[in-house]
A and B are shown apart, each in its own frame.
Chain A
């Protein structure tokens, strides 16, 4: 055994040196042209290949290679040009003028103009985008004084508009292929024509989607890769095996199970990238049904928050990668985030005190009351969160029954029938609290049947006032200030309790270079990506 140790250490050293040399060499190298990048389509197979009206993760991950937005995010949510080369906001904040990039062509050769942007806004983003109506509520009209100018006329200043024009959220689609058609059922959704660095080649359902280099891309000389092949690999173990053997080289949105993450981090062939998810802002939350006892009492909701050790929850369910939640606005959301909020430290004694105060004392058998927890069927991790909550709450005398069901039943139970006590669910921030946070706390988002709306049934005029004032804030500073107040109110009333800020990750082969690291680069167009030998 002893004789092996030095040999092992030597081999490790050698491996490290080789690896470092390769990594440094690769960095110093100029991008290489050509090659096929095999990507795992995650989660699962997309429904369509344009995210203009469907924001499913797999759709966005693929369509952002085919389509552009007006702008995109650099690091720290810095706005950078894409189809728009510049944008000017009038002093009163009610006019936003975009200058479009000249000589951009759709993949079918037709020129891209302001008419495409107006069409996308009028017919897609505002009408059939799942969040568009709320996001663009302040936009009165979109005007096109010339083919390369688009003017957004606003009723009131609205900071969210500029933050929703990246290709992940608001894709520009070609008017000439969509005008006068039923957009949702338009056949071009499955063989799209975009302006992005890659163009559609083929889609073999259930197996692969192939995109090829767009030789006429506006950013001349790019992309470097010849081809992207998206493969559907439904099983998590098989996905890791595919990365390990080099059968796939790139995947976003946690393409391997959290249980394989450590292995991937130690795997010399793979790289784990946590950057690029700030815009998406994924978190895990508990939503209470505040329409009925026991969670109509804020003391009971606060007791639940005090009874769960979030640090331990992260360790047990997410290998310590996730960050304990402190606010419905995540710490990655830049200037909107604040820690000056009511907090709920892990304190079972405080939890018990609150439950006693709420008139729910321990009975002879030691329990106080029984409730049912429904978990969002987005994979086994939600069941594990549920089990952790069950065990945590048992300590303070709350008996929890965990109920599982498939997604359609979950949606119906929570958003149509409101037939639940509390749920453990997923939330995305989408770059701006007006998009990601309002829908949970605004009484106007108590919408029957609508997924991801205010399913708790929480309604507080004070909160409504803050949210509505934020929508019409004259300056960005005022908007930020108001959203900090929204967070304070939310943490005080606690209709929803953020358990964890997910740290999502990308898995990439070490050969893959040139990946973007901006706030929304999980949906990078891959125009700068290239494969080292």
Chain B
């Protein structure tokens, strides 16, 4: 044990000194990645059948050829495609993501207003997922083969197999309608609240059901995964050593098994971030949560190209950043990992 620790002590400074250039390199690598994402998004969006101006006219209640032409001209859609792309890129590079013609607002403003709620929901969902999932998985692994293990297995399977919107509506009908403990949806009390604390409390109350819905689906995955990863570690020599030293079962589970099982789990969490963001679309719809998911869904329905490209860029950035964070976390969790 003492020997292991001394190796840790040697390794840590090395990792730390190399981390800064590593982070910088990774951030620089993000730029071409994001540009590629943007180009792909632009091309894919143009390939999608349908026309934003036609949808706008359809929504507005009809029109005439002159009306459509006027809108096209006003939005710059009468320009050749490559000109549109170059203009768009010029704007993006100067920090302007363009104008959403459907919403009559700048893309930056629209995304800015929705980013906070989405990050809050994703973070709360992740906390629920990791909190419940990892504890349930650890418990199941520690009680392998016992009734509690089987119960957790069945519960995880059931939750995982339940469509997200069904789970959301079920929770809403129970906790907001039958037992009116929580609001049915929205971000903050519609009647308005006074003061920052009341506001935060109101947001928290509105957050509970969406976060639990979003988190529960992922918790099921994490529970299964944690159990599997921990069982693998349980069979390893150092656990047997710990047992022979007479350490308590709880201490072994937490210090010697869970910590070693966390590494693959962190990988899964990183990979699931994208799914968490897309899963938010459903949850945001059911609970009227004003997030990016719903905005993206509506933008697709309306072929709102600028907004969609902006959203793809935004979610691309988020996923890339989360993956970077995961890589950095490896080094924290396992000092043997060198960041180069």
Contact = CB atoms under 8 A, between A and B. Distances in A.
A408 B54 contact: yes
Interface string B95-108: 00001011111000
B70 A128 contact: yes
Contacts of A44: 298
A229 B67 CA distance: 32
Interface string A26-48: 00000000001010000011011
B68 interface: yes
A241 B172 contact: yes
A38 to B, nearest CB: 5
Contacts of A206: 113-114, 117, 290-291, 294-295
Interface string A352-363: 000000000000
B59 A439 contact: no
Contacts of B56: 47
B218 to A, nearest CB: 21
Given A205-B103, A245-B177, A416-B51, A439 B62 contact: yes
Contact of A450 (B57, B173, B300): B57
Contacts of A47: 56, 59, 102-104
Contacts of A127: 70
A93 interface: no
A189 interface: yes
A237 B169 contact: yes
B71 interface: yes
Contacts of A53: 60
Interface stretch (A108-116, A129-137, A341-349, A459-467): A129-137
Given A235-B165, A407-B58, A408-B303, A449 B184 contact: no
A208 B51 CA distance: 28
A242 B105 CA distance: 29
A205 B51 contact: no
A56 B48 CA distance: 24
Given A38-B191, A130-B61, A408-B50, A182 B74 contact: yes
B225 interface: no
Interface string A181-208: 0101100011000000000000011111
Contacts of B71: 184
A407 B187 contact: no
Interface string A210-237: 1000000000000000000101111101
Contacts of B102: 47
B290 A205 contact: yes
Nearest to B50: A408
Nearest to B300: A406
Contacts of A131: 61-63
B244 interface: no
Interface in B284-316: 285-288, 290-291, 294-295, 298, 300-303
A407 B55 contact: yes
B190 A238 contact: no
B49 A412 contact: yes
Contact of A234 (B55, B57, B67, B294): B294
Contact of B54 (A55, A207, A415): A415
Contacts of A248: 190
Contacts of A391: none
Interface in B154-190: 165, 169, 172-173, 176-177, 180, 183-188, 190
A448 B117 CA distance: 41
Given A128-B67, A185-B104, A238-B169, A451 B62 contact: yes
A244 interface: yes
Contacts of B60: 53-56, 130
A247 interface: yes
Contacts of A133: 64, 66-67
Contacts of B54: 408, 411-412, 415-416, 449, 451
A423 B99 CA distance: 34
B173 to A, nearest CB: 7
A512 interface: no
A231 B186 contact: yes
Interface in A438-470: 439, 447-453
B190 A38 contact: yes
A409 interface: yes
A270 to B, nearest CB: 14
B235 interface: no
Contacts of B58: 407, 411, 451-452
Contacts of B48: 408
B110 interface: yes
B65 interface: yes
B122 to A, nearest CB: 15
Contacts of A449: 51, 54, 65, 68
Contacts of A450: 57, 62-65, 67-68
Interface string A407-422: 1110110011000000
B310 to A, nearest CB: 14
A411 B55 contact: yes
B51 A412 contact: yes
A134 B165 contact: no
Interface of A: 36, 38, 44-45, 47-48, 53-56, 127-128, 130-131, 133-134, 182, 184-185, 189-190, 204-208, 210, 229, 231-235, 237-238, 241-242, 244-245, 247-248, 406-409, 411-412, 415-416, 428, 430, 439, 447-453
Enumerate the 5 nearest inter-chain pairs by beta-carbon distance, A residue then B residue, closest first.
A408-B50, A206-B290, A55-B61, A451-B58, A207-B290
Given A244-B177, A409-B49, 16 more contacts: A36-B190, A36-B191, A45-B298, A184-B101, A231-B186, A232-B288, A241-B172, A242-B184, A245-B176, A247-B186, A408-B51, A411-B58, A439-B62, A447-B64, A451-B63, A452-B61
